[in-house]
Structure 1
């Protein structure tokens, strides 16, 4: 059921309508004792009008899907009102390696068991598989849709060339094409959504469910002093990924990054919102973004982030221009050689 406080868009050129903010439970899959707070997060999301929920078999080696399935049962929400998606990854995580016919048949059955569902609304290929013929993968995806185990499918972090090949294969065989690409997009990571994918969006009408809109929290305001949060980068794979992301976006360009972050904070205060709300509003303001997937380490974080929907109204052309001045990283558009006029030689 749609909420008056939430905005909704059609996912690509499909008839599937999703909230502009979604919820992903990657964090809950990697820690013990997270099922209850994940339920509290989902409950807040549903009350706030979010209908799109994303997970993946790789999150917690399947535990995130299990948690989501238990939470769906606990909440007792109308299944028809919710859009549930999961990602199948081309590596030996749970089952046989790759996105082969055998692997995908097994993988979706296992995912549905963990989720305690009869079907998935959107099934993602979680990265491209360079070893399995793409035609084999797309054929089995269409078979799964014919079997009502999935209704739509999409990709995650595919290149424009790979996406074009997906559509070419589907057109050749009369198969159902992907309707959505799931890519990283935030103020520090803009090239794919704002430049590389634009021809794909225009030609095929694909939607997007972008992940990490707050850059893993780096744009939330907690890092405006340019320092890493104590305890986040001590040990383990997750800590190593976090440290690398911090270094890429802040640590290796600390002076410029701090200037940008503090500028965003000042602009947010001027607009009467938080920095997180401003950053999220900027993401979903982009017409090529269908849904921005939120993560949370506690239910309290969602109260602030859900209000970003209202802040979108404050993102005027003037505000956008000021944000561009702060970021200084707007991607250059691809050259249109039909309209290119070289400078005439000087005499």
Structure 2
């Protein structure tokens, strides 16, 4: 495993991390979750990502139970949560958003579900137009000073809102956001590469990127149709299937053009796509999701592919997805 600093902070995260989105508590039960986290940890992964809204808190409860069962030393791994959407269906106004009330209460609830005394990383899951940024920054600062959160950040915030959060923190001597969690992959690049470009040097922001395979599209599994056992074919994932397969007719064409590049390198499509994300120096960690042990094991092999991405290969990739 390789380890990278989370932006300008001193925190060292594994270049590959493991997340619970759309799998824990649905496709993945307790036994498999235990095996997946054990495999990830044994391969050097030290960051496990979660959120209050993932399966309405069930994903955090499952991860917390498994982490307690595995008994990893608490100082050997990092765990995260995110706040905004709430942990119940149809949340009431005080059960969602980034008000001081919900930010702090959601943190306490996440600590209880994850069975830890502090969150290593805590993200504002989306910007909240109904909560002043000053209030949210102050709430996060409170949690950091109480020792309940070590590093806080944002997820899918516009660059101007992140800059405003830094201004508020600087002028009021508060802890500022350290990291952003954006979607980033070969088919979704503009925010990380262009919009956030000024943030890396100005504020030293790190990134914990999600969906490196575009919800499986970049693995090539959908090149010839929708497999019956695929996540997007399962009941309850209609919204994700529409977003991945039915938005933009040229996406599959781009993926198919990557196939010969992966074949020439002797690697899987998934490994190629994950390695491409790792090649970006502004990526602190690439979050993997898996519903099978063999899937996780193969994706971990992406670390060995990064060295094969020379200028010529990167140029071919750019031409394929242009």
Corresponding residue for 2:150? 151
Q: Does 1:230 align with 2:224?
A: no
Taking a change above 3 Å as real, the CA distance of residues 317 and 32 of structure 1, as seen in their structure-2 partners, is closer
Select which of 310, 313, 316 maps to 2:310.
316
Select which of 277, 280, 285 maps to 1:283.
277
Corresponding residue for 2:23? 28
Local SS of the residue matching 2:120:
strand
Corresponding residue for 2:12? 17
Greater mean alpha carbon deviation, residues 153-162 or residues 90-99 = 90-99
Q: CA RMSD in A?
A: 1.7
| CA–CA distance in structure 1, aligned partners of residues 210 and 131 of structure 2 | 26
Once the two structures are superposed, residues 130-181 of structure 1 have per-residue CA deviations (whole angstroms, 9 ceiling, x without a partner) of: 1011111110111111111010101000001101101000111011111100
Greater mean alpha carbon deviation, residues 202-211 or residues 26-35 = 26-35
Q: Does 1:162 align with 2:168?
A: no
| CA–CA distance in structure 2, aligned partners of residues 150 and 233 of structure 1 | 34
Q: Does 1:105 align with 2:104?
A: yes
Gaps of 5+ in 2: none
Local SS of the residue matching 2:219:
coil
Corresponding residue for 1:137? 136
How many Å apart are 1:88 and its aligned residue?
0.8
Q: Does 1:267 align with 2:261?
A: yes
Once the two structures are superposed, residues 56-110 of structure 1 have per-residue CA deviations (whole angstroms, 9 ceiling, x without a partner) of: 0100100011011011111111110101111111457466232111112211111
How many Å apart are 1:23 and its aligned residue?
0.3
Corresponding residue for 2:200? 201
Local SS of the residue matching 1:183:
coil
Corresponding residue for 2:244? 245
How many Å apart are 1:31 and its aligned residue?
1.4
How many Å apart are 1:33 and its aligned residue?
6.2
Corresponding residue for 1:74? 69
1:39-50 → structure 2 map (5 Å cutoff) = 39-50=34-45
Greater mean alpha carbon deviation, residues 23-32 or residues 7-16 = 23-32
Once the two structures are superposed, residues 224-255 of structure 1 have per-residue CA deviations (whole angstroms, 9 ceiling, x without a partner) of: 23x23336556755222222221125xx237x
How many Å apart are 1:32 and its aligned residue?
6.9
| CA–CA distance in structure 1, aligned partners of residues 46 and 2 of structure 2 | 11
TM-score, normalised to structure 2, is 0.94
Contact 1:90–1:99 (CA under 8 A) maintained in structure 2: no
Corresponding residue for 2:290? 296
| CA–CA distance in structure 1, aligned partners of residues 114 and 174 of structure 2 | 27
Taking a change above 3 Å as real, the CA distance of residues 64 and 14 of structure 1, as seen in their structure-2 partners, is same
Larger Rg over CA atoms: 1
Taking a change above 3 Å as real, the CA distance of residues 233 and 309 of structure 1, as seen in their structure-2 partners, is closer
Corresponding residue for 1:342? none
Contact 1:87–1:126 (CA under 8 A) maintained in structure 2: yes
| CA–CA distance in structure 1, aligned partners of residues 227 and 209 of structure 2 | 25
| CA–CA distance in structure 2, aligned partners of residues 314 and 71 of structure 1 | 36
Number of paired residues?
A: 317
Contact 1:264–1:323 (CA under 8 A) maintained in structure 2: yes
Local SS of the residue matching 2:127:
coil
| CA–CA distance in structure 1, aligned partners of residues 27 and 235 of structure 2 | 15
How many Å apart are 1:197 and its aligned residue?
0.5
| CA–CA distance in structure 1, aligned partners of residues 233 and 211 of structure 2 | 21
| CA–CA distance in structure 2, aligned partners of residues 263 and 317 of structure 1 | 18
Local SS of the residue matching 1:297:
coil
